[in-house]
Amino acid sequence: MTRSLQAVAYRRPSVLESAAGGPRLGLETSRGATPSGTVDHPRFFTGFLTSPQVASAGLLAVADVAAARYYQPQLRASLDPVVTGNGDRLRFESFSGCGGVYARLDVLAGGLDGDEVGHGTTNVDVNNPLREALSRIGAHDPLHLRVGPEELAVTTLDGPVVEKKVPLPNRWLRGFAEAQVTAAGFDLRAELTAAEAVRFLRALPRGGARSVSAPPRWVVPAGHVLRPTTRAVPGAVCLPGPERLAALQRVLRHATALRVYGPAVTSGAAATASAWEAVLPGMRLTLTLSPDASRGFSGEGGVLDALATDEAAGDAELIAVLLAWEPRIDVAGLAAGSGLTAERVRAALVRLGTSGRVGYDTAEAAYFHRELPYDADRAERHNPRLRSARALVAAGAVALDGELGTVTAEDDHVHRVRDAAGVLSCSCLWWARYRGGRGPCKHALAVRMVRRGAAVEQGTVRVDGGVR
């Protein structure tokens, strides 16, 4: 796995301090993006949490995921969560070290009591002493929250800096992009009451060895309960690697409901991703699971078309200028402001999602603006299928004949790609194995690139990646 080192610097470690009015939680920020540009140690919020014990448990759950590897758990993983201020809420996000679980805690306006929430995105320090202190917060303890540096630390610019060198897997960054694209295809499938949520989650396996050949688990909503089933049926939701929902145990006794999201499936469908949202007082904790514990989001391929489309790249640049750290992006408003169609705006948002500039909130079925504090082009540069497809196009290996495309690979193997009404198929082994379930293969992607280039030369109008 390709890795790089990310330097994350803080003024001091995050701490939970005793104070006259109750405990004071200080979450230290790193270098981050804000409306005024990149800023060292931005401040997003100062005030009280209305449900301190719930918020503490939610933060610990997000930190649990950041420190976990659900596949090959013997390998160490520890990455600092990301915090985004969206003006009316704080969002804390993390990804598991194995790349298969995405966690987000949304602390909504009802969960905050204090100054206005700022705008921007940065890393936030959640260290082991802080985790231990948060676990001791009582039900009636008032908790003051500060997200950002102390005033004294800001004026002491030459003071000590706590710096971490964290390994940053490229597939982890690609996973952030793929997870939001996947979630955008989800719908609400079930909502369980608090009591049923407790019963269901506590009955799930907690971990241990699991056979790689074990079939995926499925559940079917039946009123306010979930019934297990051995195969996909219409309305069912996949529960891949149920032990990966362990972080929800942190907040289970505070949850008022459990919402389950997933894509539409047909009888006998292959395993899919799903999202599990614990509804909490003034906040939400969501875990999104990849289709299998051994399968990270980075290889899903849902972003490949957006990365390969020159039109979407240009549209994304325009839409990026119009974003203003909105907690809920209004597609119709962006379409009116940009002069683009709603379809092209959505395609541009997918493109922006590949560089971490927008996320997707399943609870509100809407994108939100954030800027991950990483190299925006990394997801594209380190996507092997995209690189291979561009190389095939550059080598002139693609020939078009109506709906059929012929790709001659470096080993002189010839692959046939059919693109009928926007539906791709290929004769290669990758396509035979996944049937498009993990995005297009490099041959199909190369054919689509060449076909789009031919459409541009002929003056054909393209909408949402298709030729019209």
Give the model confidence (pLDDT) of 72-84 as tens digits: 765 555 678 889 9
Distances (CA, A) of 67 to 97, 110, 165: 7, 28, 15
Q: Is the pLDDT of residue 188 over 90?
A: yes
CA 307, 310, 312, 314: dihedral to nearest 10 degrees? Answer: 120
Task: Give the C-alpha distances (Å, rounded to integers) separating 171 from 2, 134, 262.
Answer: 8, 30, 23
The percentage of residues in the chain with a pLDDT greater than 70, rounded to a whole number, is 81
Across residues 365-370, what is the average pLDDT?
A: 93
CB 190 within 8 A of CB 226: yes
Q: Which two tokens stand for residue 275?
A: 């999202």
Which amino acid, 357? R
Mean pLDDT, the chain, whole residue set? 82
Average pLDDT (175-203) is: 90
Mean pLDDT of 127-143: 86
Distances (CA, A) of 139 to 16, 57, 194, 201, 248: 16, 11, 18, 22, 18
Structure tokens at 150: 């102390």
Residues 138-162 have a mean pLDDT of 63
pLDDT at 213: 53
What pTM was estimated for this model as a whole? 0.81
Would you say residue 40 has pLDDT above 80?
yes
Given a contact cutoff of 8 angstroms between Cβ atoms, the answer to whether 28 and 13 are in contact is yes
pLDDT value for 319: 92
Locate 218 and state its tokens.
């499925």
Domain boundaries along the sequence of the chain = 3-169, 178-296, 384-468
From 12-16, 294-298, 394-398, 414-418, the region with the lowest mean pLDDT: 294-298
Question: Which residues are CB-neighbours of 92 under 8 A, at least 6 positions away?
Answer: 58, 59, 62, 81, 82, 83, 104, 105, 107, 124
> Among 117-121, 148-152, 388-392, 409-413, where is mean pLDDT lowest?
148-152
Q: At what angle do helices 442-457 and 310-322 cross, to 10 degrees?
A: 80
User: H helices of 301-383, where?
Assistant: 304-308, 310-322, 331-338, 342-354, 378-381
- Residue 47 host element (H or E): strand 45-49
161-187 pLDDT, tens per residue?
566 655 556 666 677 778 888 898 899
The reported pLDDT for the residue numbered 374 is 61
Predicted confidence (pLDDT) per residue in 45-63, tens digit: 999 999 999 999 999 999 9
What is the distance between the alpha carbons of residues 332 and 349, in angstroms, rounded to a whole number? 13
User: How does residue 313 score in pLDDT terms, banded at 50, 70 and 90?
Assistant: confident
Pick the CATH number of 178-296 from 1.10.3470, 3.10.150, 3.30.1360, 2.60.420: 3.10.150
137 touches 145 (CB < 8 A): no
Percent over 90 (pLDDT), the chain: 38
Residues 127-145: what's their mean pLDDT?
86
Residues contacting 394, CB < 8 A, separation 6+ = none
CB atoms within 10 A of CB 238: 22
- Residues 435-462 have pLDDT tens digits of 766 778 889 888 888 887 754 444 443 4
Contact between residue 368 and residue 91 where contact means Cβ atoms under 8 Å apart: yes
Distance CA 169, CA 421 (A): 37
**Rama region for 465: left / alpha / beta (φ>0; ψ in -120 to 50; rest):** left
